[in-house]
Amino acid sequence: MDQEGCPDHMSGNTERTLVIVKPDGVQRGLVGEILGRFERRGLKIVALKMMTVSRDLAERHYAVHQGKFFYEDLVSYISSSPVVACIIEGPHAIGVVRAMVGATRPQEAAAGTIRGDLALAGLRNLIHASDAPETAQTEIELWFRPDEIVDLPREIDRWVYE
């Protein structure tokens, strides 16, 4: 393990990011479709759980939005029905995942992105993904204990990364 707690096999550009399939994604049966896109791209799932989000976790996750007009809707929405939370790992994972997710507002998301292909309007944007390295670190620590994250070297990685 290095200083950040990442396994030694992770190279310099390898990142981890937090992804949450929100209640609309779970209710619409899109968990496999959404996570499958990350897997097909070559990214790895190194932690995964389905859970109901407590009010406390929702408030801490969205603390940066506290005071904004949509904060209460965000908090109550994400805790209204189960979500699937996972950690995605790979080269440049934070930016790559954000690009695959698409614009925040589904109506503005480009075709080919998760939101542009599968979402339509409003807060129903299917998925949350960390937006920067600092946020990813904080969010991963908020949602997962270290013992819930696996070290997952794969034979196929050299055909994807190298």
Residues of this chain that interact with ligand CMP (CB under 6 A) are 65, 70, 74, 104, 123, 125, 128
Residue with tokens 């209204």: 80
Q: Which is nearer to ligand CMP, 134 or 162 (by Cβ)?
A: 134
CB of 86 to ligand CMP, least distance (A): 14
Contact yes or no for 75/55 (Cβ under 8 A): yes
* 128 among known catalytic residues: yes
Question: Would you list the DSSP string of 125-144?
Answer: --EEE--SHHHHHHHHHHH-
DSSP secondary structure letter of residue 122: T
Task: Tell me the three-class secondary structure of 84-115, residue by residue.
Answer: EEEEEEEECHHHHHHHHHCCCCHHHCCECEHH
Q: Which two tokens stand for residue 92?
A: 């440049």
From 9, 61, 65, 128, the catalytic residue: 128
DSSP secondary structure letter of residue 52: P
Quick count: other Cβ atoms within 10 Å of Cβ 48?
17
CB of 71 to ligand CMP, least distance (A): 8
Q: Which is nearer to ligand CMP, 70 or 161 (by Cβ)?
A: 70
CB of 28 to ligand CMP, least distance (A): 16
Q: Which is nearer to ligand CMP, 26 or 74 (by Cβ)?
A: 74
CB of 131 to ligand CMP, least distance (A): 8
Q: Which is nearer to ligand CMP, 16 or 128 (by Cβ)?
A: 128
- Catalytic residue IDs: 128
